[in-house]
Structure 1
Amino acid sequence: MQAVVLSAGKGTRLRPLTEEKPKALVEVDGRPIIEDVFDNLLAAGADELIVVVGYLKEKVMDRYGDSYRGVPITYAHQREQLGLAHAMLQVESLIDDDFMLMLGDNVFRANLEDVMNRQREDRADAAFLVEEVPYEEASRYGVLDTNEYGEIVEVVEKPDDPPSNLVMTGFYTFTPAIFHACHLVQPSDRGEYELSDAVDLLIQSGRTIDAIRMDGWRVDVGYPEDRDRAEERLRDETGRIVEQGAQTDGSSTSTTN
């Protein structure tokens, strides 16, 4: 399956970390965010990476060239950063069939394969991971409004008064139907073409959409403190893996009297 990575933004909220490098190359625990994104997508079965670049694009292209760990990379240039739906349209001509999408500023340790499996089983036009966040943080994301049966009735991008605290994360699978929706999206109050508005158009048109609760964790690296939080989570996880390995190979022992 092809995998698209949206990585064109300037990362203004991450300054000063992004003054001389694109957000994709900001390091988390010693490696660029985009490498963690690539590794997640490869583990989920991606056989081609399509990266949307923009701000300081040459630094990403020069660093990774035409492949990553043997998987080919194709680049698409978003000349103006006009939102995620606009970024999606830059790859429309490159997509052959169903595809994965990951935002290039998220660190994931989650059940990505579940999203793909559900989409295939339900023949859905979109499937994505969702999570509950504190209400005060929900306005940072695309927020889901559900009915009494738990069905999604609307997606609202960065609302001032969120209808819930259930939000889209940064991993999706789509059929090419998403491109038609992206073409129909109108600029939001922020002046951007929002991906959440495109997903909402699919919902309103009666398409099958699956939202899968996230099993694991992710950090949206939008601010410098988010980078620090992601590093803490990764180091905690590494520590647990090392400890479990030590117990498994017998190097951790106990003594009883």
Structure 2
Amino acid sequence: MQAVVLAAGKGTRLQPLTDDKPKALVEVDGRPIIEDVFDNLIAIGATELLVVVGHLKEQLINRYNDEYRGVPITYAHQREQLGLAHAILQVESLVEDEFMLMLGDNVFRSNLGDVVTRQQEDRADAAFLVEQVPYEEASRYGVLDTNEYGEIVEVVEKPDDPPSNLVMTGFYTFTPAIFHACQLVQPSDRGEYELSDAIDLLIQSGRTIDAIRMEGWRVDVGYPEDRDQATAFLQGEDVPPAEVPGASVSAPELETD
């Protein structure tokens, strides 16, 4: 399965760590974040890495050229950073079938393979890991609103007043149906084409969407302190118990079809 990595961002919130390098090359535990992303994707079966680059793209291209650990890399250039839905459209011509997607600034030690397995079993149009976070942190993410049956009824990107504390993480699988949804997305209040809005369009059109509880941990490296936390976790310091993330989700399944 092909794997798309979104690595075009400037990482302004990570300054000064990103003053002279793209966000994906910020080091966590002594190595670039994107190498951890690549390793995770290869471990669950990635056969090609499609990397969306933008800010200081030459550093990424010159460092990895056309392969990583024997897996071919193809680059797509996002000339303007207009949101994740816009970034995904840059690889539309390169994607052959269902594919994985990982944000290039997330460090995972979790059940990523469960998402791929569910995708292949259900042929879902989207599948992704979800986790519960403190309510005060939910506004950093795409937040899921569910009904009394645990079905996802809406995805809201970085809301001021989150409808829940159940959020999407930075790993997904999609069929090519996501590209049409991304083309239909309108700019958000932030002026960006949001991936959460594209997923919401899939939900509203009755497409099959699967959400899988995350087991393990992940760190979204958005700020310098997140880099420090990810490094500490990788070194075995204060690692959260595997059963904690998502453990208090009440519904037995989180999916809609």
TM-score for both structures, normalised by structure 2: 0.92
Give the counterpart letter for 1:26 in structure 2.
V
Offset at 1:119? 1.5
Partner SS, residue 226 of structure 1: helix
Deviation at 1:123, TM superposition (A): 1.8
Q: CA deviation at 1:170?
A: 0.3
Structure 1 partner of 2:79: 79
Distance 2:62 2:145 in 1: 42
Q: Does 1:191 align with 2:224?
A: no
* Amino acid paired to 1:132: Q
- The match for 1:253 is none
CA distance in 1, matches of 2:67, 2:118: 29
Whichever of the two has the greater Rg, that structure is: 1
Tell me by how many angstroms 1:60 deviates: 0.3
Provide the C-alpha distance between the structure 2 equivalents of 1:174 and 1:49, rounded to a whole number of angstroms: 15
Cα deviation, residue 51, structure 1: 0.2
The corresponding residue for 2:118 is 118
Q: Secondary structure at the match of 1:93?
A: coil
Letter in 2 for 1:175: T
- Partner residue in 1 for 2:236: 236
How many residues matched?
239
Match in the other structure for 1:12:
12
Query: What does residue 35 of structure 1 align with?
Result: 35
Describe the SS at the equivalent of 2:100.
strand
Q: Deviations over 1:17-50 (max 9, x none)?
A: 0000000000000000000000000001001000
Aligned residue runs from structure 1 range 1-257, under 5 A = 1-236=1-236
- The structural deviation recorded for 1:121 is 1.6
Residues in 1 aligned to 2:36 and 2:169: alpha-carbon distance in whole angstroms: 16
What secondary structure sits across from 2:52 in the alignment?
Answer: strand
Deviation at 1:122, TM superposition (A): 1.7
Q: Deviations over 1:145-176 (max 9, x none)?
A: 00000000000000000000000000000000
Note the alpha carbon deviations across 1:198-240, whole angstroms, 9 max, x for none: 000000000010000001100000000000000010001799x
Distance 2:117 2:153 in 1: 23
**Are the counterparts in 1 of residues 124 and 209 from structure 2 also a CA contact under 8 Å?**
yes
Contact 2:232 2:238 in 1 (8 A): no
Counterpart of 1:92 in 2: which secondary structure? coil
Seen in structure 2, the aligned counterparts of structure 1 residues 192 and 39 have a Cα distance that, compared at 3 Å, is same
Which residue type is aligned with residue 225 of structure 1?
E
Structure 2 residue runs of 5 or longer lacking an equivalent are 240-257
For the residues of structure 2 that align with 1:118 and 1:154, how far apart are their CA atoms?
A: 21
Structure ranking higher in helix proportion: 1
> In structure 2, what is the Cα distance between the partners aligned to 1:238 and 1:158?
28
Partner of 1:247: none
Q: Residue type of the partner of 1:159?
A: P
4+ runs deviating over 6 angstroms: none
Supply the RMSD in Å over aligned alpha carbons.
Answer: 1.1
